[in-house]
A and B are shown apart, each in its own frame.
Chain A
Amino acid sequence: MSNIRRRTLLAGGVLTAAAGTGLLSLLRAPAFAKEITVEEVLFDPANPVLGNPEGDVTIVEFFDYQCPYCKANHPVLTETVEADGNIRLVMKDWPIFGAPSVRASQLALGAATLGRYEAANSALMETDGKLDETRIHEALKDVGFDVAALDRAYRDERSRWDGLMGRNSDQATMLGLRGTPAFIIGTTIYPGAMDAAALRDAVELARA
């Protein structure tokens, strides 16, 4: 007898909780309410473009400067893009490994303001292991950057770069991306690292 009563009570509780949750989602909805389109994901005007900006296929990579598989995969990716010659490469900063990742992204995007994004991006992708402020600065200094200048450049266009990273993160969530790296080639999502053959196949598929 008590079980039935208890069940009723709990039913009420769960319904209340569910209703509350639903309401909360509705209140939060505006943050996600804007539709995203393929255009926005592949051609975000704020995002630097590597490879051939006029290429007929776009490879988007959601990445983090501390994500081991992003970094391990990077040489394969750049070589493939270079060898093909007709690929737009859009590296989307999605810092998921905490503060050092965010810092690395900020400075690399600062380099974009200065027109030297590719050098900063490659330098940071070539780093070993976990990052911290010092290692990030060293990696950038090694390829001739003035860290203070990069920081200023980032801050000058802070709303642009923070907006971009915010959009990247929203897109990752909306696309249901599990983590980094995640590739979008053409209109297909490829989660996880890809070897050269897989990349070439995906590009071919996108062209077909």
Chain B
Amino acid sequence: MAADSHGMTVTTSAPRRFGHLLPLALFVLALASGLNGPVTAQETLFASTKPLAPRDAFELSVELQPDGGRVLSWEIAEGYYLYRDHLAVETIEGDVVPLETAPGIAKHDPTFGSVEVYYHRAEATFSQAPGAVRVTYQGCQENGICYPPVTDTLPAVAPASADTEPAASSPATSPGSGPGKVTATDGLADNATSRVQLAKDEGLVSDLMDRGGSALVLLGFFGFGLLLAFTPCVLPMIPILGGLLAGQGATLTARRGFALSGTYVVAMSSALALLGVAAALSGRNLQIALQSPWAIGGVAILFAALAMSMFGVFELRLPNAWNTRLSRTGTGRRGTFGGAAILGFTSALIMGPCVTAPLAGALLYIAQTGDTALGAAALFSLGLGEGVPLLLLGIFGARALPRAGRWMQTVNRIFGFIFLGMAVWLASRVVPAAAGLALWAGAMALLGVFLGGFDQLEATASPIARLRKAAGVSALFVATLLGFGAATGGNDPLRPLAGFRAASSAVPPEKEIAFSTIRSLTELDAALAKTEQPTLIYFTAEWCVSCRVIERRVWPDPGVETALVGMQLLAADLTEFDADGQALLDRLGSVGPPTMIFLDAEGREAPGTRLIGEPDPSAVVASARAVQ
């Protein structure tokens, strides 16, 4: 679709997220110009066969360099050429931007003397330019016609509000050429480049900023937060906060519940804002940078300690001496607020680092504009939105939770196991798979024991006690299987004995979408170089919870499977995050997993196809179709 005769990928790659609206935009445009009358009327005045439209003959694409410079490249149709002397870049104010170009082929034309021209491909580089720039180029069809200069406006790299509108509406004039006129109605898509050419995204923040200023940005991000509140990125926070509240016991009131959950939410939002600041300072996604064994191990231990505290093994409080000094309101309270803050902070940064469209939008906005304040504020707002259900939980949960007695103990133990489960889940990211299985075995054994799997039942035991015992025995049985699996080289907690089966039987593996894993730019380039197919690059990682959802819901979808036939599928695995991983993220303009990038056969990303966060299968199908 993108490669049809009309070369502008934006205008033709129809059914993308917002790509499908572009035809509409163009239709409106056509309608408006239809009112001009002559343009369409005169087409039929004279019969004609035409050479290619200049933008089809010379397809401009732009690649952003890490240093803020840009590489312009033109794919030149067979039998057409561009003049080296007629490549020019100027700012909107008309200042010439110095351009580096390679020597062209000397074309000795008896009537045109010696001029340097480019066949097939031309490239020009310029360093950072303030604001939007106009690129002008001119060429001819061999032995046919020579085109008037073509001018395309490229949006500012740092999209300040006024310059971000695409060039569609501004007529491009040919500087210094008198009355020559070219209208750049299809100058929308000057993106994409060599090897990997990324589509330009207007950006969520700039988009909101343009239409409603920073207030709309904050409001919008609060709204995104609300929408994200029930995704797997945020859901784990509910039991965490629940456990925190349950641990309060008798001291828990609705007011205190609100204050605690408020602390938690503010800390979580601050962590997100800090993400923005850290991204601005280091150019890295802190969430990903924090996926180190030390950070994860530390948090796993924190959760294990919380679990033990919930079991009543010990009171997780600051020493009494500190408390009496620090707290006027009562023992342990300060400590609990501190705990809420720590939990909120670590939840956002380490528990489920989720890259969602708004998060990516804000981080990219900061990266592009350096406007840390607005970016961080937007992220804070996002956190507050995500925290709304947690605040409600704080207020209403406080009433529902038992304050004392046997029930409180039970509730505390339930949350204790939730914390333990999180501790094991975190730890299993950083220990060998078999060790992870062993940890799960231990946790299940503990659960079995707590449920009373080993307790003797009286003959008169109630049905509930018997059910409990049955559950406990089951848990112990699962623990045994897991332990056995761990000892025999299993690695999947859900299929602990898979090692056995693989060895003993030849059951054909389930039909699955097969990704090739890449971990560095070199591997990416190699993979792209050896294929003629369109490519899907899927950023994933073991620790990416949204990626698990994608693996369960998106890849097995029959529609998706069909749509991805004939595509090269690359999984950029960031589980072990290092400089190579960062380089991949930088090159592909992503802030982390899950992100799906769709490249056509020429390695150009089709505009509007990128999927960040958890997409619907239909969105994946649409994006895949756009590059095939």
Question: Do the beta carbons of A29 and B35 come within 8 Å of each other?
Answer: yes
Q: How far is the CB of A89 from chain B (nearest CB, A)?
A: 17
Q: Indicate which residue in B21, B48, B208, B357 contacts A11 across the interface (CB closer than 8 Å).
A: B21
Contacts of A33 in B (CB 8 A): 36-38
B178 lies within 8 A of A165 (CB)? yes
Q: What band does the interface of chain A fall in when counting residues whose beta carbon is under 8 Å from B?
A: 35 or more
A13-B211, A96-B148, A187-B47 are contacts. A179–B113 as well, Cβ < 8 Å?
no
CA of A158 to CA of B29 in the docked complex: distance in angstroms?
35
B111 close to A68 (CB less than 8 A): yes
Check if B29 sits within 8 Å of A168, measured CB to CB.
no
A190's partner among B48, B146, B149, B207 (CB-CB below 8 A) is B48
Residue in A closest to B27 when the chains form the complex, CB atoms: A18
> How many Å lie between the Cα of A6 and that of B181 in the bound state?
37
Within 8 A of B (CB), among A1-33: 1-3, 5-7, 9-26, 28-29, 32-33
Partner of A2, one of B114, B176, B202, B227: B227
Question: Which of A34-42, A48-56, A76-84, A145-153 contacts the other chain?
Answer: A34-42
Whether B67 sits at the interface, judged by CB under 8 Å, is no
| B505 contacts partner chain A, Cβ-Cβ < 8 Å | no
Contacts of B171 in A (CB 8 A): 28
Smallest CB separation, A71 vs chain B (Å): 4
Docked-complex contact B168 and A21, CB < 8 angstroms: yes
Cross-chain contact A191 with B358 (CB below 8 angstroms): no
B123 nearest CB across to chain A (Å): 22
Q: Write the chain B residue with the least CB distance to A168.
A: B179
Interface check B398, CB cutoff 8 A = no
Minimum C-beta distance from B431 to chain A (A) = 33
A63 vs chain B, min Cβ distance (A) = 10
Does A119 sit within 8 A of B, measured CB to CB? Answer: no
Closest to B170 in A: A24
Stretch of B135-143, B269-277, B322-330 lying at the A interface: B135-143
| B110 beta carbon closer than 8 Å to chain A | yes
Q: Give chain B's interface residue range (CB within 8 Å of chain A).
A: 35 or more
Q: Is the CB of A18 within 8 A of B29?
A: yes
A47 interface residue (CB < 8 Å to B): no
Distance from A95 Cβ to chain B, minimum over Cβ atoms (Å): 5
Closest B residue, CB atoms, query A35: B38
- Pick from A10, A21, A69, A101: contact of B29, CB below 8 A: A21
State A14–B144 Cα separation when bound (angstroms): 38
Nearest Cβ on chain A to B164's Cβ, whole angstroms: 10
Of B152-160, B406-414, B612-620, which stretch is located at the interface?
A: B612-620
CB of A15 within 8 A of CB of B42, answer no
CA distance A187 to B42 in the complex (A): 11
- A46 on the interface (CB 8 Å rule)? no
As a 0/1 sequence over residues 16 to 48 of chain B, the CB contacts with chain A under 8 angstroms (1 = contact) are 011001101100110111011111011101111
Q: Are A178 and B180 in contact (CB under 8 A)?
A: no
Inter-chain contacts of A175 with B (CB < 8 A): 42-43, 45-46
Q: Residue A179 contacts which of B18, B47, B143, B145 (CB distance < 8 angstroms)? A: B145
Closest A residue to B228 using CB positions: A2
Stretch at the interface among B50-58, B462-470, B478-486: B50-58
Residue of B nearest to A180 (CB): B146
Q: Is the CB of B112 within 8 A of A128?
A: yes
Known A-B contacts A3-B615, A3-B616, A128-B110; A178 and B179 likewise in contact (beta carbons under 8 Å): no
Q: Taking CB as reference atom, which chain B residue is nearest A166?
A: B179
The reply on A143 being an interface residue by CB < 8 A is no
User: Do residues A18 and B148 form an inter-chain contact, with CB atoms below 8 A?
Assistant: no
**A22-B31 in contact (CB<8A):** yes
* A90 in contact (CB, < 8 A): no
0/1 string, A161-191, CB within 8 A of B gives 1: 0000110111001111011111010011111
Q: Which of A10, A20, A69, A128 contacts B17 (CB 8 A)?
A: A10
Interface residues of B in 51-105 (CB under 8 A from A): 51-54, 86
A5 touches B146 (CB 8 A): no
Are A173 and B183 in contact, CB atoms less than 8 angstroms apart? yes
Partner of B33, one of A14, A25, A129, A189: A25
- Determine if B178 and A2 form an interchain contact, defined as CB atoms under 8 angstroms apart: no
B24 CB contacts on chain A under 8 angstroms? 14-15, 18
Q: Tell me the complex Cα distance, A169–B174, Å.
A: 12
The answer to whether A179 touches B54, judged by C-beta atoms less than 8 angstroms apart, is yes
Bound together, the chains give a CA A18 to CA B23 distance in angstroms of 10
- Most chain A Cβ neighbours within 10 Å, of B46, B50, B147, B228: B46
A3 touches B613 (CB 8 A): yes
User: CB distance A12 to B211 under 8 Å?
Assistant: yes
Provide the B501-542 mask, 1 if CB < 8 A to any CB of A, else 0: 000000000000000000000000000000000000000000
CB-CB under 8 A from B176, the residues of chain A are: 98-99
**What are the residues of chain A within 8 A of B619 when measuring CB–CB?**
3
- Complex interface: chain B residues within 8 A of A29 (CB): 35-36
Asked if residues A17 and B145 are in contact (CB atoms below 8 Å), the reply is: no
Contact A15 B46 (CB under 8 A): no
Is the CB of B177 closer than 8 A to any CB of chain A?
yes
B147/A178 in contact, CB under 8 A? yes
**Assembled-state Cα–Cα distance A176/B41 (Å):** 11
Contact in complex: A19, B28 (CB < 8 Å): yes
Sorted nearest first, the 7 A-B pairs with minimum C-beta distance are: A129-B113, A189-B48, A192-B144, A169-B179, A68-B112, A18-B25, A96-B148
